[in-house]
Amino acid sequence: MSDRRPGTRAAAPSADARVTAASASSRATTTSADEPAAATARALVTALVAHGVRHVVLAPGSRSAPLAYALQEAERAGWLHLHVRVDERVAGFLALGLSRAAAAPVAVVTTSGTAVANLHPAVLEAAHSGLPLVVVSADRPHEMRGTGANQTTDQVGIFASAPRFAVDLPAGAVPGPALDQVVTRALAAARGLRTNDPGPVHLNVGLRDPLAPSSRWVPGPVPAARDVVAPAGPPAAEVLRPGPRTVVVAGDGAGPAARELAERAGWPLLAEPTSGSRSGTSAIGPYRLLLADPALGGAVERVVVLGHPTLSRPVSTLLARRDVEVVVVAPRGPWTDVAGVASRVVGAVAFSGQTETTWMERWRRAADAAEEVIGRALADGFDGLYVARAVAGAAVAGAAGSAGAGVSGAAGVSTLVVGSSNTVRDLDLVALPWRPGEAPHTVANRGLAGIDGTVATASGLALGTGRPVRAVMGDLTFLHDAGALARGRLEAEVDLQIVVLNDSGGGIFATLEHGAPDRAGEFERIFGTPQDVDLASLAAAYGARYGLARTPAELDDALRAPVRGRSVVEVPVDRRGLRERRAALAADVRHAVRSALV
């Protein structure tokens, strides 16, 4: 065996890393001595289950056949849940959705060649989002590599520095302590047990003919849990005290700690929709439009950053100011400090002192004034902002709806998946902060903020939670991953409603410098990229129900309906004039805020 530990991301060797389940491995190898591929596959599956893997996504192929046979038998024995997909990119993001749902490692298994390369987008997203994705790729044995053998390429190191741990298992790897230790180290690295830096790992497994076992495997009882590597433990908290005018910025994945800190200290909370923090009394919904005001954003003296903030340029500008003390809270290895101005990077924070009120009240008055302007704008038009507010209202976990441009009496879908690009930014701008306990689990692939795999991620969340999921995305994000709607006849159905905001192209670019009037002649083809795909026919081809919502009432009806099976709701909107409408809204908010703060 040769292993590969890029940079500092490898799991540190543990002095007490011992193998305690040799008996389980021996049960996994009840096959004849001339079938080493089957023995290796069964031992790997046993070790993965012992380390807590309960969901595996398989993209079938011939070279990975020993793993496929072992996984199917393990599922029959009640060891795990197996999900089969024909597209490896879909399989990778489905595994990410399952991992988010279970908060646990999930494995994805592929055959050799381009199949492995198709996992790269999901591996990169897992690396930047800190998700424990376990890639098990089948490979040709060493003697076939570099010979021109079919479907053979250099798979060792194919994901470059993204994996936290990578190993090349030679064909004929003997089940036993050495093989078990590889899985122990891989799963410890995936979970970030010694590094506080979870992420993807890669097990490249050489498999030699015969690939089809001559007899069935009877796995027996579920292997006992193998907790070999002790976690490194939580970081110590640095105490923050009142004094500087402070805001809390909660980016993707910040979690409830951001809300708790802001409320304890009396600081405004600027929370992205996928932060897990956008609720409570300190949350400022339209913060993006307030940061330019000299009495608000201009008066900030300290920022406490949690999670991975990526959505808005006003926040990026704030975090780049050299006259502001920036405290970055990073409980795991990487931290966000794009401008390199962080004053301190700490593992955790706590507040000590008297809760502040005057600063917080100023932000609340401004937020109320801004919300009034936004409410009038939503009442006057049916566009992406309206859809975002309606979807946010319909996603209140366990509630009967919300006020404003939302759905009254809606069936409370508690998991919301948001596409990158304009959709998540619209949600960030207009979604009212939820009440604590009612906030939906809001997810987006913000590790690299790509549009890859959004439908597959939502499907994985639906499978993993066993509950209905609603996803909202633009037409390009949907078309990019439409293949994830496919469901094999032998695979479990998912309860997933996909709301597609169809503006026939890339509306986000209209709000950036590329959409400036003096670039109109070049914009439409190379940025707008208009599409004319018949979404009704596409949905029907994949066996999904289809609905069209051209009006607020029709959208209301679609969001009220129970989410059962796969369905697509198309919401056509016009992106002409989008840049001007957003600029006018920002100007109206600025005027209202200045009046409110006089």
Residues 585-591: what's their mean pLDDT?
95
pLDDT digits (tens, 9 = 90+) for 17-42: 323 333 334 344 445 556 999 999 99
Stated length of the chain: 598
- Amino acid letter for position 416: L
Rounded to 5 degrees, φ, ψ at 258 are: -65, -45
Q: What is the largest CA-CA distance in the chain?
A: 84
The confidence score (pLDDT) of residue 397 equals 52
Residues of the chain above pLDDT 90, percent: 78
Residues 122-139: what's their mean pLDDT?
97
What does the alpha-carbon distance between residue 320 and residue 340 come to, in Å, rounded to a whole number? 8
Question: Does the pLDDT at position 191 exceed 50?
Answer: yes
Q: Which residue has the tokens 């790997």?
A: 44
Work out the pLDDT band at 412, boundaries 50, 70, 90: low
Higher pLDDT, 207 or 598: 207
Residues 438-461: what's their mean pLDDT?
95
- Amino acid letter for position 95: A
Q: Which residue has the tokens 């609603």?
A: 470
Cβ count near 114 (within 10 Å) = 11
Contact 288, 318 (CB under 8 A): no
The β-bridge relationship of strands 348-351 and 415-418 is: unpaired
Question: Does the pLDDT at position 512 exceed 90?
Answer: no
Contact 396, 434 (CB under 8 A): yes
- Amino acid letter for position 279: S
- Here the tokens at position 326 are 């920036």
What does the alpha-carbon distance between residue 266 and residue 240 come to, in Å, rounded to a whole number? 12
pLDDT digits (tens, 9 = 90+) for 284-300: 999 999 999 999 999 99
Q: Is the backbone peptide bond immediately before 210 cis, with ω within 30 degrees of 0?
A: yes
The confidence score (pLDDT) of residue 12 equals 34
- Minimum mean pLDDT range among 394-398, 418-422, 440-444: 394-398
What does the alpha-carbon distance between residue 95 and residue 107 come to, in Å, rounded to a whole number? 7
The confidence score (pLDDT) of residue 528 equals 83
Contact 470, 538 (CB under 8 A): no
What does the alpha-carbon distance between residue 475 and residue 483 come to, in Å, rounded to a whole number? 14
136 membership: H or E segment, kind and range: strand 133-139
> Pick from 159, 158, 155: which is nearest to 169 by CA?
155
Question: Does the pLDDT at position 579 exceed 90?
Answer: no
Work out the pLDDT band at 411, boundaries 50, 70, 90: low
Contact 304, 207 (CB under 8 A): no
249 membership: H or E segment, kind and range: strand 246-250
Question: Does the pLDDT at position 398 exceed 60?
Answer: no
What does the alpha-carbon distance between residue 94 and residue 455 come to, in Å, rounded to a whole number? 8
Question: Does the pLDDT at position 83 exceed 90?
Answer: yes
The confidence score (pLDDT) of residue 33 equals 53
> Pick from 371, 428, 437, 435: which is nearest to 405 by CA?
371
- Here the tokens at position 163 are 């994996």
Q: Which residue has the tokens 């003697």?
A: 143
What does the alpha-carbon distance between residue 480 and residue 436 come to, in Å, rounded to a whole number? 34
SS3 237: strand
pLDDT digits (tens, 9 = 90+) for 300-326: 999 999 999 999 999 999 999 999 999
Burial of 321 (0-12, 13-18, 19+ CB in 10 A): middle
pLDDT digits (tens, 9 = 90+) for 92-117: 999 999 999 999 999 999 999 999 99
What does the alpha-carbon distance between residue 461 and residue 451 come to, in Å, rounded to a whole number? 17
Question: Does the pLDDT at position 530 exceed 90?
Answer: no
pTM of the entire predicted model: 0.90
Helical H segments across 163-291, by residue range: 177-191, 256-265, 287-290
- Provide Rg for the chain, Cα atoms: 25
The confidence score (pLDDT) of residue 430 equals 95
Question: Does the pLDDT at position 7 exceed 50?
Answer: no
